[in-house]
Amino acid sequence: MSSDHLLINNIFYTVQGEGKNIGKPSIFLRLAGCNLRCVWCDTKYTWLYSEKTLISLKQIIPNELKQSLGNKFYDKTEEIQEISPNKIIETVSQYPCKHIVITGGEPLLQIKKLIPLCFNLIKLGYSVEIETNGTISPSGLHSEIQFNVSPKLSNSYNDETRTILPDVLAEFNQTNSYFKFVISKKTDLQEVNVIVKKVKLNHEKIFLMPQAQNATELAERSDLVLKLSKSNGYNFSYRLHIQLYGDKRGV
């Protein structure tokens, strides 16, 4: 692999599905690889590349979740492309849009290569959002980037010592960042409130989103999350891409 090439899963043109810029036409640059293992992740094809990983995930989740998780893992050679920064810029320039969302997986695993790419994109007139789980420092990235930070709660079945890093979240809080929390049940809000207090997050920068993998789940859970948002002064974010496309990829 060349020293400046990035590991890419896909590049596609769609609209931002959640958060502050929901509905905004956007070019998505989906990077491969993740440092966490969320049971409800809707992009497992960016990191679930072995049966061993799948088995280890099943060992830590309740039985009622094992069926929805399924038995599928993905072929790494089919899911990852090594693409140069110049080729990325050439590809995104084909779309009638100047807004880019860099997502994953966890894109900041490739931060050293993202730093020059993002500087060049912004120099060319693009606005950039980066979706991240908030476990890797954003140090060195362009100050104009908007970070959409999504700390993973216990409903993701990750180890909290790996998911909630107050010092790193505090770094993001000093940048142009918004914080998105996936809510599956009412008690998830207690975890959100603890993080908000510990990191001193501004309520206006926080979005609560329903955990959903299809339109039916989204409809069922949106009312609860909307009520929790209103009663606590947080923003509510719908998940437009799930309503429109379900689990379809590249849209």
* pLDDT, tens only, 14-43: 999 999 999 999 999 999 999 999 999 999
E strand or H helix at 227, and its extent?
A: helix 215-232
What number is the average pLDDT over the span 201-215? Answer: 94
Edge-to-edge strand ranges of the sheet holding 146-149:
81-83, 6-15, 25-31, 99-103, 127-132, 146-149, 177-183, 206-210, 235-236
What number is the average pLDDT over the span 150-161? Answer: 95
Crossing angle for the helix pair 85-92 and 111-123, to the nearest 10 degrees? 40
Domain range holding 102? 6-180
* pLDDT, tens only, 229-239: 999 999 999 99
User: pLDDT band at residue 128, thresholds of 50, 70 and 90?
Assistant: very high
* pLDDT at residue 250, rounded to an integer: 82
Distance (Å) of CA 105 to CA 78, 98, 139, 230: 16, 23, 19, 30
What number is the average pLDDT over the span 119-137? Answer: 98
By percentage, how much of the chain surpasses pLDDT 70?
Answer: 100
* pLDDT at residue 169, rounded to an integer: 98
- Asked if residue 17 is part of any domain, the answer here is yes
Q: Is the pLDDT of residue 1 over 70?
A: no
User: pLDDT band at residue 246, thresholds of 50, 70 and 90?
Assistant: confident
- pTM comes to 0.95
- Asked if residue 220 is part of any domain, the answer here is no
* Nearest one of 146, 95, 142 to 121, comparing CA atoms: 142
Residue at token pair 């140069």: 84
Q: Is the pLDDT of residue 244 over 90?
A: no
Total domain count, the chain: 1
- Asked if residue 146 is part of any domain, the answer here is yes
* pLDDT at residue 69, rounded to an integer: 85
| Beta strands, E only, the chain | 6-15, 25-31, 81-83, 99-103, 127-132, 146-149, 177-183, 206-210, 235-236
- Asked if residue 92 is part of any domain, the answer here is yes
- Asked if residue 202 is part of any domain, the answer here is no
Average pLDDT across the chain, whole number = 95
* pLDDT, tens only, 40-99: 999 999 999 999 999 999 999 998 888 778 889 999 999 999 999 999 999 999 999 999
- Asked if residue 32 is part of any domain, the answer here is yes
- Asked if residue 241 is part of any domain, the answer here is no
* pLDDT at residue 184, rounded to an integer: 94
- Asked if residue 83 is part of any domain, the answer here is yes
E strand or H helix at 63, and its extent?
A: helix 63-69
CATH number, domain with residue 167: 3.20.20
* pLDDT at residue 68, rounded to an integer: 75
* pLDDT at residue 221, rounded to an integer: 94
